[in-house]
Structure 1
Amino acid sequence: MNTDKLSARLAAVAKYVPKGASMADIGSDHAYLPCFLAKNQGVRFAIAGEVVEGPYQSAKKNVLSEGLSDVIDVRRGNGLEVVQQGEVDCITIAGMGGALITSILDNGKEKLDEVRRLVLQPNISAISIRKWFLENHWRLIAEEILEEDGKIYEVLVAEQGEPYKPYHSKREMGLLFGPFLIENQNEAFKKKWTAEKRNWKRIFDQLESAVQTQETMEKKQDLLSKLQMVEEVLQDEKS
């Protein structure tokens, strides 16, 4: 991977950054994404934010060698502390867990007032991001799920406004599986949720043979409702 050819996961993120945007890539690693966007999608201005010294130095080196220092500002800092209020209209955060991404957004909430679009790629727990969108008045407008090198990734895109819009009546189901992903189930989606279903079933069976405490009963109930939802979601596709 380099600044001309991104990994499939980062290419999916890049696709949703508006042409001519000013953007910040948080946890930018080697700044591959901002460099690619500056060269191919005409972003006006980009911040590559990185908290770890090694990747920060690597990002600085890459931006310099690409001759992009006038477009991309590499900044060292934690989360959104590298962004000034009103400086960017799009923020990307890729390659972290969903809970960590939401805590970054929470900790820098005051920086989001003038941001028009968030493009987030959680490695796990996309549900925590969908819940955060609902609670903070961001509307999910697009989702993708893809497999790369044996791992499955989701990309979630949101803009400010009507948070309930994509969910229709089955909100719990939409939060867990993704309202757009349920509608267009690809191979990666089926693979992920078939594996999850097996895993939940295995845990449920273990709990069945365990001592039945209040906690066990509650866990079983939770798993049962997830199993019913996953059955319904995967069944929908067959019908």
Structure 2
Amino acid sequence: MNTDKLSARLASVSNYVPKGARLADIGSDHAYLPCYLAKNEGLPFAIAGEVAKGPFQLAERNVLAEGLAGVISVRLGDGLEVIQPGEVDCITIAGMGGALIANILENGKDKLTSVKRLVLQPNISAISIRKWFIENNWELIDEEILEEDGKIYEILIGEKGDPNKPYKKNLDMGLLVGPFLLQKQDKTFKKKWTAEINNWQRIYEALEGASQSPETNEKKLEMIAKIKLVEEALKNENS
């Protein structure tokens, strides 16, 4: 992967960045995404934010090597603190846990007033982002699921709007598996959730064999509820 050819995961993220957007890529790592968009899609302005010194220096080096210092501002800082209010209208955050992404958005809420779109790629716990959207009046407008190098990733796109709109029937199911992904039900979706069910069943069996306590019983009930919900989702193919 480099600034000319993105990984499948980042290429999918890049597809949801609107033409002409002023972008902040948080946790930008090598600044591959903003460099790629600046070179290939004419991105007018981007901030590459990085909290760790090493990746920040790598991003800086890449931006200079590509001759993009006039377009991409590489900044060291935690989450959205690298953005000034009103500076950007699109934010991408890719390659972190969903709970961490939701936390970054929560802590930087004052920076989101001018932002029209969020493109988020959690490695785990996409549900944390869907819940944050609902609590903060962001509408989930699309989702994608893809597999790369044996790992499955979800991409969530949010805009300001009606946060309940995508969840027509079962809110719990939609929050867990994704309302758009539930409708599409492609083979990656089925693979992910079949593996999750198997994993939860293993946990349940291990709990069955453990000494019983209120905590164990609660955990067992949680596993059963999740298994039922996802089995129903996979059956719901035509809904």
TM bin, normalised by shorter chain, reads over 0.9
Query: Is 1:45 aligned to residue 45 of structure 2?
Result: yes
Match of 1:200 in 2: 200
1:238 Cα deviation (Å)?
A: 8.0
When the two chains are superposed, the root-mean-square deviation of aligned CA atoms in Å is 1.2
Residues 214-233 of structure 1: matches in 2 within 5 Å? 214-233=214-233
Deviations 1:148-202 (A, max 9, x none): 0011111000001110000012000000000000111122111111111001111
Structure 1 residues not aligned, in runs of 5+: none
Closer, same or farther: CA 238–210 of 1 in aligned 2, 3 Å: farther
Residues 19-168 of structure 1: matches in 2 within 5 Å? 19-168=19-168
Query: Is 1:178 aligned to residue 178 of structure 2?
Result: yes
In 2, the alpha carbon distance for the partners of 1:238 and 1:83 equals 43
Q: Which amino acid aligns with 1:21?
A: A
In 1, the alpha carbon distance for the partners of 2:214 and 2:27 equals 41
Scaled by the length of structure 2, the TM-score of the pair is 0.97
- Number of residue pairs matched by the alignment: 239
In 1, the alpha carbon distance for the partners of 2:169 and 2:213 equals 33
Structure 2 residues not aligned, in runs of 5+: none
Deviations 1:22-55 (A, max 9, x none): 0100010000000011112222110001111111
1:224 Cα deviation (Å)?
A: 1.0
In 1, the alpha carbon distance for the partners of 2:238 and 2:223 equals 23
| Identity across matched positions, percent | 69
Q: Which amino acid aligns with 1:114?
A: S
In 2, the alpha carbon distance for the partners of 1:50 and 1:218 equals 39
* Secondary structure at the counterpart of residue 147 of structure 1: strand
Runs of 4+ in 1 over 4 A off after TM superposition: none
Scaled by the length of structure 1, the TM-score of the pair is 0.97
